[in-house]
Amino acid sequence: MAGHSKWSQIKRTKAVVDARRGAVFTRIGREITVAARQGSDPDGNFQLRTAIAKAKAAGVPAGNIERAIAKGSGQGGAAEHLEAIRYEGYGPGGVAVLVEALSNNRNRTAADVRLAFSKHGGNLGESGCVSYLFQHRSEVRIQHTTINEEALLESLLNLEADGYELTSPEEALVHGPFEALESLQKGLHDQGWTVAEWAHCWQPLTQVTPHDEESIQQCLKLLESLEELDDICSVSANLTLTSAPRDDLSK
């Protein structure tokens, strides 16, 4: 399994900056609203608990979170109809791009996504054109003063994890099967690790590095442009600029 790319690190850095923007609050609020349809109690609703954790990490005010929960659970008046949509296409240099959105207007969102692709040298494709190049997985981000790899490996042997990636001396991403997200997050927490974030992610099975700097920069602009759209929940790409992470715990 190919690991995360430089783009995943750029997204995490960018998220800190974007969290100051109201558009990000709106985007995360929609995720909370959708999750709250399954119940307003985070203790019994892992999807909601995940969305709330994401909101808190982005600095979303508590009042915004409460209103989104009330809206989704039917306590805040008429619920907004939000549709989950996936878009697929290619960026410059043959980079595969997979985009997920929550939208109340399919035509508007499609037009915005198509414009972003065409403006930055990409092509929006048909459903299924690149999704086979990705695998839906679990990802948990942990933090510590210094990540001790031996201690981390020992913890992972007892959990449903099959890989990890050190993104800095103080941070690591732990990967696992799609269905293992809740148990992986809880297991790492119970073993004393500081769990910063957890989510389902589209991890690339193959990776692409454009051959020229212009294509790389254009591709990064495309991905950033997509991330900035209000309706977009996630942007995944198989763009890589760094070496692959450790994915085999047996070694």
Same domain for 225 and 125: yes
Nearest to 4 by CA among 142, 160, 166: 166
Tell me what pLDDT residue 105 has. 94
Q: What CATH number corresponds to the domain at position 227?
A: 3.30.70.980
Within this chain, do residues 126 and 222 fall inside the same structural domain, yes or no? yes
Evaluate whether residue 10 is within a structural domain: yes
Distances in Å between the Cα of 183 and the Cα atoms of 16, 64, 144, 230 are 27, 28, 20, 31
Q: What's the pLDDT at 75?
A: 78
Confidence of residue 152 (pLDDT cuts 50, 70, 90): very high
Residue 22: inside a domain: yes
Q: Give the mean pLDDT of the chain.
A: 87
Each residue's pLDDT tens digit, 226-250: 988 989 999 999 998 754 445 556 5
Same-domain check for residues 109 and 224: yes
Confirm whether 250 is domain-assigned. Answer: no
**Residue 16 confidence class, pLDDT cut points 50, 70, 90:** very low
- For the whole prediction, is pTM greater than 0.85? no
| pLDDT band with cut points at 50, 70 and 90 for residue 153 | very high
Are 171 and 56 in a shared domain? no
Instruction: Name which residue leads in pLDDT, 149 or 1.
Output: 149
The reply to whether 77 falls in a domain is no
Residue 81 pLDDT greater than 90, yes or no: no
Residues 163 and 188 in one domain: yes
Among residues 46, 72, 98, the one where a domain terminates is: 72
Task: Give the CATH number for residue 36.
Answer: 1.10.10.200
251 in any annotated domain: no
Condensed to tens digits (0 to 9), the pLDDT of residues 83-123 reads 999 999 999 999 999 999 999 999 999 999 999 999 999 99
Clarify whether residues 211 and 126 are in a common domain. Answer: yes
Give how many domains the chain has, as a whole number. 3
Same domain, 107 and 138: no
What is the predicted pLDDT for the residue at 63?
Answer: 93
More confident residue, 101 or 82: 101
Q: Last residue of a domain, which of 72, 98, 116?
A: 72
**In a shared domain, residues 212 and 123:** yes
Residue 225's pLDDT is 94
Residue 64 and residue 17 in one domain:
yes
Q: Are residues 123 and 214 in the same domain?
A: yes
Position 11 in a domain: yes
Q: State residue 136's pLDDT score.
A: 95
| Confidence (pLDDT) at 77 | 60
On the question of pLDDT at 12 being above 60, the answer is: no
pLDDT, position 4: 45
Q: pLDDT band for 220, please (50, 70, 90 cuts).
A: very high
- What residues make up the domain containing 45? 6-72
Q: What is the mean pLDDT of residues 44-54?
A: 93
Residue 78 included in any domain: no
Residues 164 and 113 reside in one and the same domain: no
Q: Are residues 211 and 196 in the same domain?
A: no
- pLDDT above 90 covers a percentage of the chain that reads 69
Q: Render pLDDT for 169-218 as a digit per residue (tens, 0 to 9).
A: 999 999 999 999 999 999 999 999 999 999 999 999 999 999 899 999 99
CA distance 112 to 107: 9
Whether 231 is in a domain gets the answer: yes
